[in-house]
Structure 1
Amino acid sequence: MKYKVAYIDEDKGWINTFYQTFKNDFDILRIEVNPQSSVEEILKLLLSSDLNAIVTDYLLEENAEVPFNGNKIVEEIKRLKPHFPLVMLTSYPTQAIGQTDDVHIIYNKNILSVENDREREELEVFRTKIHSNISNYYKKIEDTNSKIEHLIEKRNNNGLEIQEEEELTKLYILFDELNPDGKDLPANLIHRDSITKLSEFVSETKEILEELKKLNQK
C-alpha cells in the first residue's frame, strides 16, 4: 500500500508536476489554494484525510492572492502533531528559511525539474527521504507504545526505579505528541494536571496497559 501524501500549492502547473513526479511512489492528495482559502479550512482537510505526510509550497501568494503562506500551515501542523512528516518546497529557500523554525524541512522546488543525471540523483534522494521520514515516524510510534507497555508491566510486577519513572513520564508526553490518527491515551488515565510526584503519574497501571493494548489492536 502506498503512503498518502498531500501536496499544497496555488499553482496548477506545480501541482501537476509534483503529481507526475511522485504518482508511482505515493497516493497524492492535490490541494490547490486560492484567495478564498483559509488556514483553518486547509487544516480541517489535512487532518481528515488520513495522510502519512504533507508537502507544501512556501510562497502560496506568488501567483494568487492567497492570504497565507506555507509556513503557516507547517506551524499549525507542528502545533498539533510535532513529529508528523512535513516538507516545504520553495523557489525562494532563503526567504522560507527566515520564516520557518525547522530549516531541515525546506527543499528547493527546482528538485522537481530533472534535466541531467545529477539532478535525477538529487530527486531520488529526496524521494527516499520522504519515505524514510514517514517510516521513521511510525517506527517511533511503535517504539513508544512498546516502551510504555514494558515499563507498565515492570511497574506492576517489580516496581520502577526513579530513572524509569522519569522515562515513563517522558514517554507519556511523547505518546501524546505523536497522537496517531487521534488514538490518544485517555486523559483520565494520565492525571497530568494533578501530578505532584512521579509516583503519582499513574494510579491505575493495569487499566493503562489494557488501554494501550486496545489501541494497538485498532
Structure 2
Amino acid sequence: MKYKIAHIDESDQAINQFYHNFKSDFDIVKIKVDSDSEVHSLIEKALEKEVDAVVVDYLLIEEGEVNFNGNVLFDEFKKIRPHIPIIMLTSHEPEAIDHMKNVHIIYSKDLMDGESNVELDLLKAKIKISISNYYKLIDDTRLRIEALVYKRNVENGLSLLEEEDLAKSFVVMDELEPQAKGLPSHLTHPHEITKLTDFVSQTRQILEELKKANNK
C-alpha cells in the first residue's frame, strides 16, 4: 500500500508536475490554494484525508491571493500534529530559508524538471523513511504505554521515573493520535478518554513547571 501525501500549492502547473513525478510512489491528495483558502481549512482538508505526510509550497501568495506563505502553514500544522512529516518544496529557497527554523526540510522545485532523477529518487526515499519513522514512533509510544500501564495495574506499581515516563508518553501519544486511536483498548472508552484528556492537560502543566525549575 502506498503512503498518502497532501500536496499544497497555489499553482496548477506545480500541482500537476508534482503529481506526475510522485504518483507512482505515493497516493497524492491535491490541495489548491486560492483566494478563499484559510490556514486552518487547508490543514483540515489534509487531515480529513488521513494523509501520512505533507508537501507544501513556500510562496503561496505568489498566485494564491492569500496573505500567508508556507512557513505559516507549516507552523500551524505543527501545533496540531507536531510529529507528522512535512516537506517544503519551493522555487524560492533563499526566502524560505530566511523564514524557517528547520531549513533541512526545504527542497528546490528544480527537482521536478526531470534532469536529476537521482536527487528526485533521494527525496522520495527521504519522505518514505520520514513517514516510516513517524509510524514507528506511534507504535513505540503505544507499546511503552501498554507496558507501563500493565506494570502499574498488575505488577508492583511504577517508580517515580516510570511515572514520569508514562506521563510523557501520554503527552506524545496525544500529539500523535489526538483521537486516541493508538492507545491501549481499555483506555479508549469515552469516560476514559475524558479522564485521559484531563490527565494530559495536567501533565503538560507539571512538565512545564519542572522544566522551569530545572532551568533556574
Same fold (TM over 0.5): yes
2: distance between equivalents of 1:188 and 1:175? 15
Q: Is structure 2 residue 186 aligned with structure 1 residue 191?
A: no
Does structure 1 retain, via aligned residues, the 8 Å contact 2:170–2:200?
A: no
How many Å apart are 1:66 and its aligned residue? 2.5
Secondary structure of 1:55's aligned partner: strand
Report which stretch shifted further, 2-11 or 94-103: 94-103
Q: 2:79 maps to what in 1?
A: 79
Deviation at 1:65, TM superposition (A): 2.1
Aligned equivalent of 1:101: 101
Whether the 8 Å contact between 2:84 and 2:134 is mirrored in structure 1 is yes
Q: For residue 59 of structure 1, what is the aligned residue in structure 2?
A: 59
Q: What is the TM-score when the length of structure 2 is the normalising length?
A: 0.82
Alignment partner, residue 21 of structure 1: 21
Deviation larger for 139-148 or 44-53 = 44-53
How far apart, CA to CA, are the structure 2 residues paired with 1:4 and 1:45? 13
Residue in structure 2 matched with residue 153 of structure 1 by the alignment: 150
CA distance, structure 2, for counterparts of residue 33 and residue 87 of structure 1 = 17
Please list every run of 5 or more consecutive structure 1 residues that lacks an aligned counterpart in the other structure.
199-218
SS of structure 1 residue aligned to 2:68: coil
Give the aligned residue type for 2:199. Answer: H
Q: Which runs of 5+ in 2 are unaligned?
A: 184-192, 208-216
**Who is 1:132 aligned against?**
129
- SS of residue in 2 equivalent to 1:35: coil
1:107-139 CA deviation, whole Å, 9 max, x = no partner?
Answer: 111122221xxx221111100011111111111
| Number of equivalences | 195
State the alpha-carbon separation in 1 of the partners of residues 26 and 206 from structure 2. 46
SS at match of 2:54: strand
- Which residue among 105, 120, 129 is the counterpart of 2:117? 120
Q: How far is the alpha carbon of 1:180 from its aligned partner?
A: 5.9
Instruction: State the partner residue of 1:174.
Output: 172
Residue 214 of structure 1 aligns with which residue? none
Q: Secondary structure of the equivalent of 2:94?
A: helix
- 1:80-124 per-residue CA deviation (whole Å, 9 max, x = no partner) reads 010011111111112112212222221111122221xxx221111
Could you tell me how far 1:181 is from its partner in structure 2?
5.9
CA distance in 2, matches of 1:193, 1:4: 31
Percent pairwise identity: 46
Please say if residues 167 and 200 of structure 2, whose CA atoms lie closer than 8 Å, have aligned partners that are also in contact: no
**In 1, Cα distance between equivalents of 2:14 and 2:206:** 53
Tell me by how many angstroms 1:63 deviates: 2.9
My pick for the range that moved more, 90-99 or 141-150, is: 90-99
Considering only aligned residues, what root-mean-square deviation do their CA atoms show, in Å? 2.2
Distance 2:112 2:178 in 1: 30
- More displaced 10-residue stretch of structure 1: 125-134 or 67-76: 67-76
Q: Distance in 1 between matches of 2:35 and 2:121?
A: 34
| Shift in Å, 1:48 | 1.0
Counterpart residue type for residue 111 of structure 2: I
Asked if 1:162 corresponds to 2:160, the answer is yes
Whether the aligned pair in 2 keeps the contact of 1:50 and 1:181 (CA below 8 Å) is no
Moved more, 185-194 or 141-150: 185-194
- The residue type equivalent to 2:42 in the other structure is I
1:70 counterpart = 2:70: yes
Is the Cα–Cα contact under 8 Å of residues 58 and 71 in structure 1 kept in the other structure?
Answer: yes
Deviations 1:43-66 (A, max 9, x none): 221121111111010001223422
Distance 1:197 1:75 in 2: 25
3-state secondary structure, aligned to 2:63: coil
